[in-house]
Amino acid sequence: MRIIVLGGPGAGKGTRASLVAEHFGVPHISTGDIFRANLKAGTQLGLEAKKYMEAGQLVPDELTVKLLFDRVAQDDCQGGYILDGFPRTINQAQLLESELVKMGVNIDYVINVEVPDQRIIERMSGRRTCSDCGIPYHIEYAPTAAEGVCDKCGGEVVMRSDDAPETVMGRLTVYHNETSPLIEFYESRGSLKNVNGDVEIEDALSYILKVLE
């Protein structure tokens, strides 16, 4: 079972990817995790990616795909995997598709987590993080017992700059310009499944499984 999970920033694609991966007993893979693992291990591909990252540049798509396929070649991926946050652009999708064709395999499903932009802004702007221990909170879904004070360490709980409404709107603009065209790309291949990302998280997996039937 090979599945891609798409969705805007804050749509909950990572949570859903984890749920689906656990259900099917396959790895949940994100490019961020791959980069961190290769950097920590000091692999040749990791060191090559590090050069771009230290220069403040984006890691080239071709190198990202190499890192990805190095990961999916591992034994735990033989039964499939869930890709979270990749591909992000049409070029990445085409590179991914080309490599999969060489391997004689294909993506079974592409799950597109749909959440209205305004709802995403509301969700993300409600996030808070302890400035001392890093524990995440949410003013609506997971508030602190005392406003602005971490339940665990007593540190100040603040909004990260990444979660400010103006920042989120900027990320959504990038998403719509660069990533949302993937919806039509995969729809044309018959693998796209749209799912409502604004359901209770305890219902998310059963909802996705019904869509995949």
- Tell me which residues are annotated as active site: 13, 88, 127, 160, 171
Q: Is the dihedral of CA 64, 14, 89, 87 positive or negative?
A: positive
Residue 68's CB is within 10 A of a number of other CB atoms, namely: 22
* Three-state DSSP class for residue 132: coil
Cα angle at 136 between 130 and 139, to 5 degrees? Answer: 95
| CB burial readout 131-159, b (16+ within 10 A) else e | eeeebebeeeeeebeeeeebeeeebebee
Alpha-helical (H) ranges within the chain are 13-24, 31-41, 44-54, 61-72, 90-103, 117-125, 165-174, 181-187, 201-212
